[in-house]
Amino acid sequence: MIRKFYLIALLLISGCSGDPFNLAEGGIGGSGIISEGPISSFGSIFVNGVRYDTSNAELSGILSAENELELGMVVTVEGSVEGDSGIAERVYFNPSLIGALEALDLQTQSLNIAGQTVFVDDFTIFANREQLNEFVLGDWLHISAIDSADGQLLARWIRVQNPEQRSQLTGIIEQLDSLQQQFQIRGKAIDYRYAEIETSLEEGAWVRVEGELNTDVLLAQKIKAKAPFTAEPSQQIALHGQIRSNGHLTLGQERIELALHVQFELGQRDDVRNGQLVTGIGERDAEGNLVLSQLRFLEPPKIEDRFELRGHIEAISTEHIQVSGKTYNLSGNTVFHDKRDRERHFNGEQLHIGDYVRLLGAGEEVHILERTRINEPAPLPKRH
């Protein structure tokens, strides 16, 4: 079984900051959790390093069947963790952004929809395109994204769909004007005077807005809360995102603190800085801050530690892969992407000796594994 990013209750954590990530075998029993992050592999689904059984899960958002889940979709999972696996009770997905492609910048590896700038990186999955330069202006896109450290969006999944009437965007309410019945999301003006409002509108609230674009204003038709469920005090929270440091630390839109004894993987306390891509796990304190007891770095803090390798698989198991005479580690955090046959529900069990792959990672850890073709064009440089 592929190694998991085990979940350990805050009070059971031991060790010192900077120590190697070394969790006791077996994890914890029956720990409730809400985990938000991109799907990295299937069987049922891997989210933030944990394999969740979704066979009896309630699906919500735009999901109606389990086979609609795709690699890279940022989902919210509510369930429990027992030992080294989880059981999902609910899985929620809704795109962060829906709309027509208005601008494309290959130099900065970004695109613009509904006045929102979206960047791509090595973790971005293009569901039905190969590279960013294959998109054309006017393409109707569904995008699942996380907040970047600079306040923009960082895509995790992009799919070209048939055009629809409504655009959609999610984000934090800013410059709320109850008299004019307007607010902004990342600089985009939202007019909500005729909207069906299903959540409280207040400065700093996270909302999902559906509506029609009218020049520089989105005419809202429906406004909802970001997700239909939130964490209870007794539940753990797992988040994927870029750390933002502006006087205090945030991950996504959560204000975070580091517990006294944090278990780090692929980094240490001194590496926690603005823009670092991580998965964090913790619990809320009395003030509502998310206190992280575990932190996994998804990109090496030092650029020189990163590697990229192409070659044929010489040996393969659930935990290791050998390419070009060297063995690398696979885990529940490894993103398995099939660019050769475009298998939507791809995982490591479908790999075979002789398959041609592209590996990206750090040290001996594989962060991204792509099954590809020998003549696959080199990817465009990504924004770091």
Residue 247, domain extent: 10-94+230-297
Whether the pLDDT of residue 187 is over 70: the answer is yes
Whether the pLDDT of residue 4 is over 70: the answer is no
- Residues 253, 241 share a domain: yes
Whether the pLDDT of residue 46 is over 70: the answer is yes
Neighbouring residues of 53: CB distance < 8 A, sequence distance ≥ 6? 44, 85, 86, 87, 88
- Residues 85, 19 share a domain: yes
- Residues 62, 41 share a domain: yes
What CATH code is carried by the domain that includes residue 134? 2.40.50.320
- Residues 279, 207 share a domain: no
Q: What percent of the chain has pLDDT over 90?
A: 68
Neighbouring residues of 72: CB distance < 8 A, sequence distance ≥ 6? 38, 39, 123, 124, 125, 127, 144, 156, 157, 335
Whether the pLDDT of residue 15 is over 80: the answer is no
- Residues 290, 235 share a domain: yes
pLDDT tens by residue, 209-245: 999 988 789 999 999 987 666 777 778 999 999 999 8
- Give domain status of residue 379, yes or no: no
pLDDT at 379: 61
State the Cα–Cα distance between residues 128 and 126, nearest whole angstrom.
6
Whether the pLDDT of residue 16 is over 50: the answer is no
The number of domains in the chain is 4
What CATH code is carried by the domain that includes residue 208? 2.40.50
pLDDT tens by residue, 253-275: 788 999 989 999 888 998 898 99
Which of 161, 176, 198 marks a domain boundary? 161
Which of 225, 242, 271 marks a domain boundary? 225
State the Cα–Cα distance between residues 251 and 177, nearest whole angstrom.
27
- Give domain status of residue 3, yes or no: no
CA–centroid distance for 217 within its chain = 28
Whether the pLDDT of residue 341 is over 90: the answer is yes
- Residues 75, 16 share a domain: yes
- Residues 89, 111 share a domain: no
Pairing mode, strands 50-53 and 85-93: parallel
Which of 161, 190, 208 marks a domain boundary? 161
- Give domain status of residue 5, yes or no: no
The larger pLDDT score, comparing residue 110 to residue 288, is at: 110
State the Cα–Cα distance between residues 167 and 37, nearest whole angstrom.
23
- Residues 137, 205 share a domain: no
- Give domain status of residue 238, yes or no: yes
- Give domain status of residue 378, yes or no: no
pLDDT tens by residue, 79-123: 998 756 899 999 999 999 999 999 999 999 999 998 999 999 999
State the Cα–Cα distance between residues 325 and 372, nearest whole angstrom.
19
pLDDT at 375: 76
- Residues 84, 63 share a domain: yes
- Give domain status of residue 382, yes or no: no
Q: What is the DSSP string of 110-159?
A: EEEETTEEEE--TT-EESS-SSGGG--TT-EEEEEEEE-TTSSEEEEEEE
- Residues 314, 264 share a domain: no
pLDDT at 380: 55
Whether the pLDDT of residue 63 is over 60: the answer is yes
**How confident is the prediction for the chain on average, in pLDDT?**
86
- Give domain status of residue 212, yes or no: yes
Whether the pLDDT of residue 9 is over 60: the answer is no
- Give domain status of residue 83, yes or no: yes
